[in-house]
Amino acid sequence: MHRIYRSHILICTGSGCPGAPMIVEALKEELIKRKLENEVRIVQIGCPGFCSKGPLMIIYPEGILYCEISPDDVPEIVEETIIKGRTVKRLLYKDPIAAQLVTHYSEIPFYKKQKRVILKNCGFIDPENIDEYIAEGGYEALGKALFEMSPENVIEEIKKSGLRGRGGAGFPTGLKWEFTKNARGEKKYIICNFKMTYS
């Protein structure tokens, strides 16, 4: 049975949030010190995409976003937000145009106009926890492709999606799969190549 927590503290551990592991450790220590480790869950998340303001922390269920935090901020966050239910104003995002503090993650202009599709769970679930991925619908499309669709239907779906290779030609993936399926011979091989680039 899964434990129910009254708060979830999400901490970005992406490369745009340097020092995040130290924040996680400081938070663990502070929660133990305050005897809150069974009430508050720490979730290390992938990058929610606001790297210029990292390290980031999002506290749920309120949806409070704290920016540019450090381990030194942790005791105040636990005292003010987790225990007393107040925000730490100096850690909130300040909208440079409206010159106002923004408390909630969903109200930040950077996120307001976004409709995430592929990365909709990035920054909200633990990327190393398969149960969280499955709970959010992970592998549903794979299950459908394996157990509900014919190979021809899968290829048609990929063709309709417009998915293309990332190489210079941008060749349609559905066509590649169709060519492979229609190739002569009993045994068929798919070779996958990739190139890692660092900027």
Query: What would the pLDDT profile of 94-137 be if each residue is shown by its tens digit?
Result: 988 888 898 887 788 777 777 777 767 776 777 778 888 888 88
Share of the chain above pLDDT 70, in %: 94
Q: pLDDT tens digit string along 15-66?
A: 878 899 999 999 999 999 999 999 999 999 888 878 888 899 999 999 999 9
Residue 199 is predicted with a pLDDT of 47
Q: CA-to-CA distance for 148 and 6, rounded, in angstroms?
A: 39
Q: Is 49 left (phi over 0), alpha (psi -120 to 50) or beta?
A: left
Q: CA-to-CA distance for 167 and 193, rounded, in angstroms?
A: 10
CATH numbers and ranges of domains, the chain = 7-135 (3.40.30.10), 140-182 (no CATH)
Q: How sure is the predictor about 8, in pLDDT bands with cuts at 50, 70 and 90?
A: very high
Residue 92, both tokens: 């909130």
Q: pLDDT at residue 174 above 50? A: yes
Higher pLDDT, 198 or 152: 152
Asked if residues 43 and 8 have their Cβ atoms less than 8 Å apart, the reply is yes
The three-class DSSP label of residue 93 is strand
Higher pLDDT, 85 or 130: 85
